[in-house]
Chain A
Amino acid sequence: MRSVPRARPPFRGTSWLLALSAIVFIGLAGCATKPPPDDPDAVADYQQTNDPLEPTNRVFYAINNGIDTVILKPAAQAYRFVLPGPVRQGIHNLLSNIGSPMQLTNDMLQGKPRRAGDTAMRLVINTTVGVLGIFDVAKKWGYPDHDADFGMTLANWGVPEGPFLFLPVLGPSDPRDAIGFGVNIALDPFTWVGGPGNVGLKAFNWSRWGVNALDSRERVLDTLDQIKKTALDPYATFRSLYRQHRHSQIEDMRNDNRATVPVWFPQAANESSK
């Protein structure tokens, strides 16, 4: 594990944060009021929404929205303004290449050999021919990208998603994806290489995290603006969109059952692909 820098008393900042979130939680952890049982349609709605922590979630939504308005969104706009499209695309490709070892681990944990093969080929081709991953050459060569993270792996193992959560900073989630988020970091080799106290690695990881936030936010600038403008209840709209998007990613992963027939086999590998 990482050592805590000696200059700072350990856990001071953390305990302050914990205390603050505890206060927020205790003060606001009201549950959504259940509809009366004599209204079956309303009960069905309530169950389908599956958001028992809605009041708390809405508080975090408001906080995140505030942070986004004053920090993340202007930063993403500046990022878009300063860098031309192709450069941003290159940065996006680079980030996605850095994430591919973690993606590969999840492909394997999901039991998807062809997806793992795609990811492995992408990693090799893009790191070399694609100059550390700035250019997505592998896509043109027939190895398209796909989504894979530990939340999806858990889903494939049959873990239910659980109630909706809106997490501070991280945004829309659920218990399965929140655990997935943590495990993903642990599965990422860049979290561990270099050993503790390696300042260079720490700087690398922090800048990677920062640029990743900019990149992700920049890519949805127009979409988020549009949703906030047109939705009567943006929170409910984001909740719905997040769930649908996750379900479709998981569905795509489950339906990707391309067989691993070797190319030299009479029935060529390509014919058996989806």
Chain B
Amino acid sequence: MIYRRHFLTFAAASALLAATAPARAQGAEKATAFMKSLGDQLVAVVNGPGTASSKRAAMTRIIDTYVDVDGIGKFCLGRYWKLATPEQQKQYIKLFHEVLVTNITSKLGEYQGVTYTMGRSRMEDEDAVVSTTVLRPNNPPTAVDWHIVNPSSDPKVTDVVAEGTSLRLTQRQDYASYLAHNNNSIDALISAMRNQVSQSS
């Protein structure tokens, strides 16, 4: 039994060593610090004083600094990205940016009083994943995982996974279905997005 326990300890220790290869550990650590700073700023804007428009401006600033909007936008268009003309791509990315900001700012009211706790962070291939728990009044706690690309050099959020549902994957399937029902016309998608932005602002 003793031998077995020593062996297990040794196996666990070596597994731990392998997992915490310096670069990866550093990546996860930096991702945690990055996430903490992002989370604190988000909560400060959501719960802080200020008019809707000043909050929107603050939110735009945070998204520009912390989120890989272009990368997410490309992902969400999926196979249609290659089919789009350079002009369509440019329009789409610009609108995608606005849609993202609009969708997030329209949620601010219902997130009033939000707090969060940091969980573990781990490496998943090249990305870091930081787990958090988001708590808001009148709602059950939500487990939210933040996927962070280039954690040690130029960290940016590429995906937010709430209770196992990926925001960018959901968005991609929403767009794909819209396109499939509109003759695969990227112009139709662009005008639908334009509508969305103009309706809510």
Q: Which residues of chain A have a CB within 8 Å of any CB of chain B?
A: 41, 45, 49, 80, 85, 219, 222, 226, 229-233, 235-237, 239-241, 244-245, 247-249, 251-252, 266-267
Are B165 and A244 in contact (CB-based, < 8 A)? yes
Q: Mark B165-180, 1 if CB is under 8 A from A, else 0.
A: 1100110011111101
* Residues of chain A lying within 8 A (CB to CB) of residue B176: 45, 49, 236
Most buried by A among B140, B175, B180, B200: B180
User: Is the beta-carbon distance between B5 and A266 smaller than 8 angstroms?
Assistant: yes
Which of B5, B140, B170 has the most chain A CB atoms closer than 10 A to its own CB? B170
Residues of A within 8 A of B107 (CB): 226
Complex Cα distance A248/B103, Å? 24
- B79→A233 contact, CB < 8 A: no
A248-B165 in contact (CB<8A): yes
A219→B196 contact, CB < 8 A: no
The reply to whether B110 and A241 form a contact with Cβ atoms under 8 Å apart is: no
**Shortest CB distance A197–B (Å):** 38
With A and B bound together, what is the CA distance between A244 and B159 in angstroms?
A: 14
Tell whether, in the assembled complex, residue A232 and residue B137 are in contact, meaning their CB atoms are under 8 Å apart.
no
Q: Are A219 and B139 in contact (CB under 8 A)?
A: yes
| Beta-carbon contact of A240 and B178 below 8 Å | no
Residue of A nearest to B140 (CB): A219
By Cβ-Cβ distance, the 8 closest A-B pairs, closest first, are A248-B164, A236-B177, A240-B173, A244-B165, A232-B178, A233-B177, A41-B79, A237-B174
- Known contacts A226-B106, A245-B164; 5 additional CB pairs below 8 A are A49-B173, A232-B189, A232-B192, A233-B174, A236-B176
Given A45-B79, A248-B165, check contact A232 B196 (CB 8 Å): yes
Q: Does B138 contact A (CB under 8 A)?
A: yes
B81-113 contact mask (Cβ, 8 Å, vs A): 1 or 0: 000000000000000000000010011001000
User: Nearest CB to that of B8 among chain A residues?
Assistant: A267
Contact (Cβ within 8 A) B180 A45: yes
Write 16 A-B pairs (CB below 8 A) sorted by A numbering. A219-B139, A222-B110, A226-B107, A229-B106, A230-B106, A230-B196, A232-B178, A236-B174, A237-B170, A239-B173, A240-B165, A240-B174, A245-B163, A249-B164, A266-B1, A266-B5
Query: Of A229, A233, A248, A267, which one neighbours B181 at CB under 8 angstroms?
Result: A233
Interface SS, B side: helix
How many Å from the CB of A62 to the closest CB on chain B?
14
**Number of B interface residues, CB 8 Å?**
30
Task: Report the bound CA distance from A247 to B165 in whole Å.
Answer: 9
Complex Cα distance, B176 from A251, in Å, reads: 25
Closest chain A residue to B181, Cβ basis:
A233
Q: Which residues of B contact A237 (CB under 8 A)?
A: 170, 173-174
Identify the closest chain A residue to B177 (Cβ).
Answer: A236
In the complex formed, the residue of A with least CB distance to B189 is A232
What chain B residues lie within 8 Å of A236 (beta carbons)?
Answer: 173-174, 176-178
A215 CB → nearest B CB, Å = 11
Name the B residues within 8 Å of A226 (CB-CB): 106-107, 110
Chain B residues in 8 Å Cβ range of A241 = 165, 170
Minimum C-beta distance from A255 to chain B (A): 12
Name the residue among A239, A240, A266, A267 with the largest chain B CB count within 10 angstroms: A240
For B175, list chain A residues within 8 Å (CB).
232
Residues of A within 8 A of B178 (CB): 232-233, 236
Residues of B within 8 A of A222 (CB): 110, 139
**A-contacting residues, B148-201, CB 8 Å:** 163-166, 169-170, 173-178, 180-181, 189, 192-193, 196, 200
CA distance A239 to B181 in the complex (A): 15
For A41, the chain B residues whose CB sits under 8 A away are: 79
Contact of B137 among A49, A85, A219 (CB under 8 A): A85
Is A244 touching B166 in the complex (CB atoms < 8 A)? yes
- Give, as a whole number of angstroms, the nearest-CB distance from B152 to chain A: 27
Name the residue on B nearest A222 (C-beta).
B110
Chain B residues in 8 Å Cβ range of A249: 164
Determine which of A232, A235, A244, A267 lies in contact with B169 in the assembled complex, contact meaning CB atoms within 8 Å: A244
Q: Is the CB of A245 within 8 A of B165?
A: yes
CA distance A251 to B165 in the complex (A): 12
Q: CA separation between A49 and B173, bound complex, in Å?
A: 8
**With a CB–CB cut-off of 8 A, which chain A residues contact B169?**
240, 244
